[in-house]
Amino acid sequence: MTARSALSAAATQPRPTGMMSRLLSSDMPRSRALSAILIVIVAGLAATPFLFSGSQPLSTAAKICVFIALVASYDLLLGYTGIVSFAHTMFFGIGGYGVAIALERLGPTWISVAIGLAVALVLSAVLAVAIGLLSLRVRAIFFSMITLAVASAAAVLASQMSTVTGGEDGLSFQLPPQLRPAFRLLLEPIFGVTINGRVLAYYLVFFAALAIFLALLRIVNSPFGRVLQAIRENEFRAEALGYRVVAYRTAASVISALAATVAGAMLALWLRYNGPDTTLSFSIMIDILLMVVIGGMGTLYGAVIGATLFVLAQSYLQVLMGAASSGLSGIPFLPDLVHPDRWLLWLGALFIISVYAFPGGIVGYLRKRQSA
């Protein structure tokens, strides 16, 4: 709570000017440590193809980019508007399936990508409006239940309609030629790195995520975004002030759904595959919730930090634990405790500790420390 008051108090200061402030919609990190962390993350993601060799680091970085966009779009709902929806992975999945089905059926061209993405965006918007108008009027808890039911129905539908979606196996497909590993943008390597289709695909994901993030940052700091925060604070009063709460909530749901759809399309393009486990499963929904809470609800920068930490932990915690486990061999009990198979246990422990230690998330903590 204190994090929020600090946020609102600081947000009424005279506006800083300059290009960076324009780009970040006047919503500066407001903490030196946070700024430093963000710069490291963004620079690291931008330079990943040049910093690390091999495909695993690049895949991890691409996943971080996708999840930054996805988690930021979820924060628009949860952190800024106060809507608890469990249907976010449905929109993520629609984006993935849209691109996957189009590329598989219509052939590996950019036109297929455009058609798949366009159809997915329209479908997501229609579903978001429908869910919003039908159920945002009811009490919050019932809304959450309805989204849960709709999301489960979508997951079942995707696995049943196997002729279209590939069922449980999902769909593998070919990418447009420019994104294939064999493609060479330049004949000569830059800084010893060959700019092939894989690197291009990575930068497509990177810039799409960056664009989504900056657009969302603008939206939450717009007059519209301010209304969303007012609705989160006191829905009744927002309505009495003349704001049509249902319309604003529905609009927020649609924007959030569209961003998640693009993120899903990016993930499918990167993986050259889409299936229930990569975009639709409920465990991804839980991951998103954890990333928002760890990073800090209601601060889009929290999405960057939450997604980065979580995906890194997911990818490297097992490796780290494997090393620790073999290092501790000979000692009773301890090697079992840090066995790589227990990684989820430790991730859970990390989560509980971080929620207790940083109730406002990492961003909330850093900002509080700065203002103290």
Partner 1 sequence: MEPALETRGLTIRFGGHVAVNDVSCGFAPGTLTAIVGPNGAGKTTYFNLISGQLRASAGQVLVGGQDITTLPASARTRQGLGRAFQLTNLFPQLSALENVRLAVQSRAEAGWSLFRVWNDRRDLIEKAEAVLERVRLADKRNVAPAALSHGDQRKLEVALLIAMEPKVFMFDEPTAGMSVDEVPTVLELINDIKQRGDATVLLVEHKMDVVRSLADRIVVLHNGVLVADGDPAAVIASPIVQEAYLGIEATR
- Binding residues for partner 1, rule: CB under 8 A, are 1, 4-5, 8-9, 11-12, 15, 22, 25-26, 218-219, 221-227, 229-230, 233-234, 236-245, 248, 255
- Transcribe 103-131 into DSSP letters: HHHH-SSHHHHHHHHHHHHHHHHHHHHHH
The nearer residue to partner 1, 82 or 295, going by C-beta atoms, is: 82
Q: Which is nearer to partner 1, 94 or 252 (CB)?
A: 252
Which is closer to partner 1, CB of 184 or CB of 237?
A: 237
Cβ-based neighbour number of residue 114 at 10 Å: 12
Nearer to partner 1, 180 or 368 (CB): 368
CB of 360 to partner 1, least distance (A): 12
Output 198 or 367, the one with its CB closest to partner 1. Answer: 367
CB atoms within 10 A of CB 267: 26
Least distance from partner 1 to the Cβ atom of residue 290, Å: 24
Tokens of 101: 């089905």
Burial of 310 (0-12, 13-18, 19+ CB in 10 A): buried
CB distance 48 to 63 below 8 Å: no
Q: Which ranges constitute the DSSP H helices of the chain?
A: 2-11, 19-23, 32-51, 55-75, 88-106, 110-135, 140-160, 162-165, 197-220, 223-233, 235-240, 245-271, 282-295, 300-327, 334-337, 343-357, 361-371
Least distance from partner 1 to the Cβ atom of residue 10, Å: 8
Give the shortest CB-263-to-partner 1 separation in angstroms.
Answer: 19
Give me the least distance between CB of 21 and partner 1, in Å please.
9
